[in-house]
Amino acid sequence: MVASRWTAAPARTASPRRRGAVLERAILDATLDQLSTVGWSGLTMEGVAAGAQTGKAAVYRRWPSKEDLVVDALRSGLPRFDSMPDRGSVREDLLELCRKMRDAMFSRPGFALRAVLHECDTATAERFHEVICGGVVEPSVKLIREVLRRGIERGEVRSGGADAYVCDVIPAMFMYRSKVCGSEWRDEEFEGLVDQVMVPLLRP
C-alpha cells in the first residue's frame, strides 16, 4: 500500500482564555515593559494590549486612562515594605533598610517610576509622586520608626529619638541624593549616612 503524499496537519490547541487576575497581571506586566522600552510618552493602551496579547477593550474596561493604568502597574510592582527583622542593632537595621529602599528604587517598577516623573507634565507627575510616597517613602518611615523604638527599649537610642523629623532624615537624604545628585547609593555611602548622621543624632 502506497503511503499518501499528504499528512494531516496536527490539530491546533486553542490557548485558554485568560480572565480576572491572570489577565490583569499580564496587562500590568506589559505596562511595565512598555515603560522600560518606550517610556511614558511612547506608551499607548494599544501597545500595552499587544504586549499582553489581549484586546484594547480589555484594557479600557479596567483602566479608563493611561494614568490610571500606569499608577496601578507601579503600585503592584514596587517591592513591599511590610516588616523589618530585628538584628539586635539599630545601625545594622538601618543599613538593611537603606538597602531595601535602594532595591525598590532600582527595581523595574522603580526605574519606570523615575522615568515617568522625568517625562510627564507637572499635573500628571503629582499622581505618581503619591505612588512613590505611598509605596516607598511612607512605609520606609514606618519601619524606621519601628527600628528606633526598638532601639529606645534597648537603650541604644535617646528618648524622643523616634520623632517625625528624625524618621524623615534617611528618606529625605535618599531622595535628594537620588533625584538631585543622581547617586545610586553605594553601600559605603549608606554606612556614611548611618554612622555620620543617624548614629550621632540618635545617641543617648
List pLDDT tens digits, range 105-150. Answer: 878 887 777 777 777 777 777 777 778 788 878 888 999 999 999 9
Query: Is 186 in the same domain as 122?
Result: yes
Per DSSP, the three-state class of 37 is helix
Residues 39 and 133 placed together within one structural domain of the fold:
no
Give the range of the structural domain holding residue 180, as residue numbers without chain letter: 78-202
Residue that wins the pLDDT comparison between 113 and 96: 96
Cα separation, 126 vs 113, whole angstroms: 12
pLDDT of residue 14: 38
In terms of Cα–Cα distance, which of 130, 128, 103, 122 is closest to 187? 103
Q: Is 1 a domain residue? A: no
Same structural domain, 41 and 135: no
The position carrying cell 548622621 is 197
Give the DSSP letter string of 67-136. Answer: HHHHHHHHHHHSPP-------S-HHHHHHHHHHHHHHHHTSHHHHHHHHHHHHS-HHHHHHHHHHHIIII
Work out the number of other CB atoms within 10 angstroms of the CB of residue 99. Answer: 13
Distance (Å, rounded) from C-alpha 66 to C-alpha 73?
A: 11
Average pLDDT over residues 188-198: 94
Question: Sign of torsion, CA 44 49 55 59?
Answer: negative
Nearby residues of 89 by Cβ (< 8 Å), 6 or more positions away: 156
* Mean predicted confidence (pLDDT) in 47-73: 94
pLDDT-derived band at 4 (thresholds 50, 70, 90) equals: very low
Residues 6+ apart with CB under 8 A from 144: 94, 97, 167, 170, 171
Looking at the structure, do residues 59 and 88 belong to the same domain, yes or no?
A: no
In CATH, what number is assigned to the domain containing residue 97?
1.10.357.10
| pLDDT, tens only, 17-44 | 667 889 999 999 999 999 888 888 899 9
Position 196 pLDDT exceeds 90: yes
More confident residue, 116 or 75: 75
84 plus 146 within the same structural domain: yes
**Based on the domain organization, do 159 and 115 belong to the same domain?**
yes
Residue 72 forms part of a structural domain: no
Which pLDDT belongs to residue 192? 94
In a domain, 85, yes or no: yes
pLDDT confidence of residue 137: 83
Confidence of residue 85 (pLDDT cuts 50, 70, 90): confident
Helix (H, G, I), strand (E, B) or coil at 7: coil
Tens digit of each residue's pLDDT (9 = 90 or more) over 151-192: 999 999 999 999 999 999 999 998 787 767 766 788 899 999
